[in-house]
Each structure stands twice: as structure tokens, then as C-alpha cells.
Amino acid sequence: MQCIYQTRVMNSGKMVAVLLVERMIILFKDNAPEELADYCILHNENQLSDIIQEQDVLVIGDTEYKIRYVGEEVQRNLENLGHITLRFDGSTEGLGGSIYLEDKAVPQIHIGDRIAIYRK
């Protein structure tokens, strides 16, 4: 498998649990604006080596999720800001800054967890 993207969780905002109930996770590099940081999973790496595509696989910790849809702003936002929204509802279309993943349970995120995207 080819690794397309990887990062490591450095911090979790105090409002992240609210978004988990909504089946979404917001990723932002550790320079997130203060007014957004409480809602984000913050990371300090941002290693992106290729264009993220449908059918790639996102891995959080030990759990894999097939990517169902990649919004048109994902690549640019991830490259420039380390910022995207992960949505776990199986949608095959949606908002530009989001990656939509297969409809599976939303993982608990822990500091130190690795988040990666692979192409099989």
C-alpha cells in the first residue's frame, strides 16, 4: 500500500466530543485559529504526497475507513492549512472541504494516534 498522507494527533479540543456525536471530526494543523481550535483534532505533521481519491483508505489508530467522496477543496486545504473535515456517513457527494467515509462507527481519538491515508 502507498501512503498518501500521514499525521499524528497532538491535541484534542474540548468541544470535539460534540462533533463526534454528529459523526464528524475536524482536523487542523496546530496553528488553528483560536476560535476553531476547541472543535478540532490538532496535529503537527502534514505529510501529503499525492492527490487523495475515492476508494483510498483512511486509517485512524487501527481502524480503516474507505473514502467514498473527496470534496474539491480537500487537497488545497490539507496542503495549505492541514485542515479538513472527516464525515462518517457513507455519502458519495457533499461539501468541498470534507472527506466522506464509509458509514462505520466514529473512532475515539487519542493524543499520539496516527492518521493516514493509503492507496491499495
Of 43, 68, 83, 87, the catalytic one is: 43
How many other CB atoms sit within 10 Å of the CB of residue 91? 15
Spatial separation of the C-alpha atoms in residues 94 and 59, rounded to whole Å: 21
Spatial separation of the C-alpha atoms in residues 86 and 116, rounded to whole Å: 12
Spatial separation of the C-alpha atoms in residues 114 and 120, rounded to whole Å: 18
43 annotated active-site: yes
Spatial separation of the C-alpha atoms in residues 69 and 80, rounded to whole Å: 20
Residues whose CB falls within 8 Å of the CB of residue 96, separated by 6 or more in sequence, listed in order = 71, 72, 73, 74
Give me the active site residues, please: 43
